[in-house]
Structure formats: C-alpha cells, structure tokens
Amino acid sequence: MSPVRPFTSTAARIYRSGWKGSQMALQHIHSDETPAPLSAHSDAVLIPPGAAILVSSGMLGMRKDGTIPESTEEQVEAAFDNVEAVLRAAGMEMGDIVKMTTFITDARYRDAFRAVRAKRVGDPAPASTRVVITSLSMPALKVEIEIIAAKAP
C-alpha cells in the first residue's frame, strides 16, 4: 500500500504566504518526491530576497519567572510563549516562522507537542525537525524550541 499524499502534483506544490502590503511571499514547498509527512510541516520554505531573518536561541519550557511546569503540555505552552515573545520583540509573528527545530527528552512527549503546536502554529506549517535527546540543561526540562523566522522589509 502506498502512503497517502496530501498533494497530487508530480513535482511539488508551492504555497505562498504573503506579508501584508508586500509583493514578497514565503514559499512553502511540499514535494511529491519525499515521504508523506508524519506531522504538519512544510518540506522546505523559500525566503524571498531582502527579507529580515531572525534566528533564535533555544526557547525552553520555562515560565518568565523561571519556574518549570510539571506537565509536558504546560512546558510546550511555555516554550511557545517564549517563542512568541522573541518574535514580538523582533516585530514578527508565528506566521513568519520558516524553520522550527524541537528537542524533546522522551519520544512519548511527541503527541503533547503536536497537540499544542497545532493550536499555536498556523497553516501552512514551517519546515520542521524534531529531535529526541537524553536531556536538556536542567533535568526537569522536557522541551526546547529553536526557530528561524523571516519577514519582508
């Protein structure tokens, strides 16, 4: 049985997510020559010339006051709160994310991450990588998110 593909072209589907008031647009690329995605993400995102690019450090599942939530879902929410704070500081928003790398300390946290991400990240989803690692900088931490975002001038 062949995998179900969300797109049907023989090469790729390209979705443009334009910036308000701009002729420039991110191009979210979904190739029919790659395996079907295991979760919501773009295979790649093409950034137009002249765009401002933001590269973040790892945003931890930690609240602003330094406390660490116990549940995985709350840690993922806290990490996304931190991602949004950095984006706002740069004059950007969640839709400007072109690449997201997520580190989780247990593969069982995948579903909790996916559920929160589905609420917090728009469509089309950015290019994405999830890595399961042994630990983060503190034993209680379960998730860390790095992003690359781009915005037209």
pLDDT of 37 reads 66
List domains and CATH numbers for the chain.
51-151 (3.30.1330.40)
Pairing of strands 12-18, 25-31: antiparallel
Helix or strand holding residue 74 (H, E): helix 72-89
Q: State residue 108's pLDDT score.
A: 97
Per-position pLDDT tens, the chain of length 153: 333 334 333 344 444 454 444 446 777 777 777 777 666 667 787 888 889 999 999 999 999 999 999 999 999 999 999 999 999 999 999 999 999 999 999 999 999 999 999 999 988 889 999 999 999 999 999 999 999 999 977
Of 113, 133, 28, 125, give the one whose Cα is nearest residue 71.
Answer: 113
pTM of the entire structure? 0.77
Query: Is the alpha carbon torsion for 126, 117, 55, 93 positive or negative?
Result: positive
